[in-house]
Amino acid sequence: MSTDIPLPSHTWPTLERGWVWLCGAGPGDPGLLTLHAVNALRQADVVIYDALVQEQILSWAPLAEHIYAGKRGGKPSAKQRDISLRLVDLARAGKRVLRLKGGDPFVFGRGGEEAQTLVQHNIPIRIIPGISAGIGGLAYAGIPVTHRDVNQSVTFVTGHDQSGNTPSSLDWASISKGSQVIVIYMGMKHIAQIAEQLITAGRSLHEPVAVVTTATTEDQQVLETTLGTIVEDIAAAALAPPAIICIGQSVLMRQVLDWQGMAAGNAPRNLDPLGRGRPAESA
């Protein structure tokens, strides 16, 4: 996308000096940006961006200063307090500040903490939602997070807390029993422990699981496995984060909805993966 292509006719908001806009960049594919995000990129003096934001997206803000504030597990990373206070300092310096975060800023993105810090320091803000990887990333893999024949609930959880461990506040037994489909962000590091807890709580060893890495990008990989073999299969496939993990029967729908595979000339593996024995339109 060129920066000189006009946006569609609309009353687009102006990013004023001294403001901070917290914006979701989507799961990876630059085409999944919202128009509000594009409008923000064109106006910003400073873009503070996370590790999962694609370089092409940053190129749409050629006049802005680009400041990296990514945090990746096991690697040297900026402290959250420093990131939040830097946003405050830049706004107070009269900059038009865009805080660009992968996915949606309010879905496991620490956007709520940053926004609260800004408001507590009397910095005006605007929130621009983005497509979360737990929905958009799975859709690119051909996996619907909801399907009327599979689930009437879906639970989104994070695989680690601020300390890097599995969240102690999560009741995995209740999650196992109460949610038909579970979507896990940042769960690769502790997947062995998570799988064990879910199986102990009653989930089947044979339950379908999908692992989608670098979702929606050219490097996207999808592993279809089961809860009982996921640890070994991830190791065998040499998969690495970032990844979204989906647990539940909706994973089977990839057999008929792998649209990227079909676009490449592959036939659907199974037109009725749920075994309903009826046309989809009669559901």
Catalytically annotated residues: 50, 71, 186
Report how far residue 268's alpha carbon sits from residue 272's, in angstroms, rounded to the nearest whole number: 10
Tally Cβ neighbours within 10 Å of residue 210. Answer: 25
Q: How far apart are the first and last CA of the chain?
A: 40
CA distance 153 to 146: 7
Residue 206 host element (H or E): none
Long-range (24+ apart) CB contacts under 8 A made by 253-256 are: 253/142, 253/143, 253/144, 253/147, 253/150, 254/141, 254/142, 254/143, 254/210, 254/222, 254/224, 256/142
- Residue 33's closest CA among 79, 106, 101, 121? 101
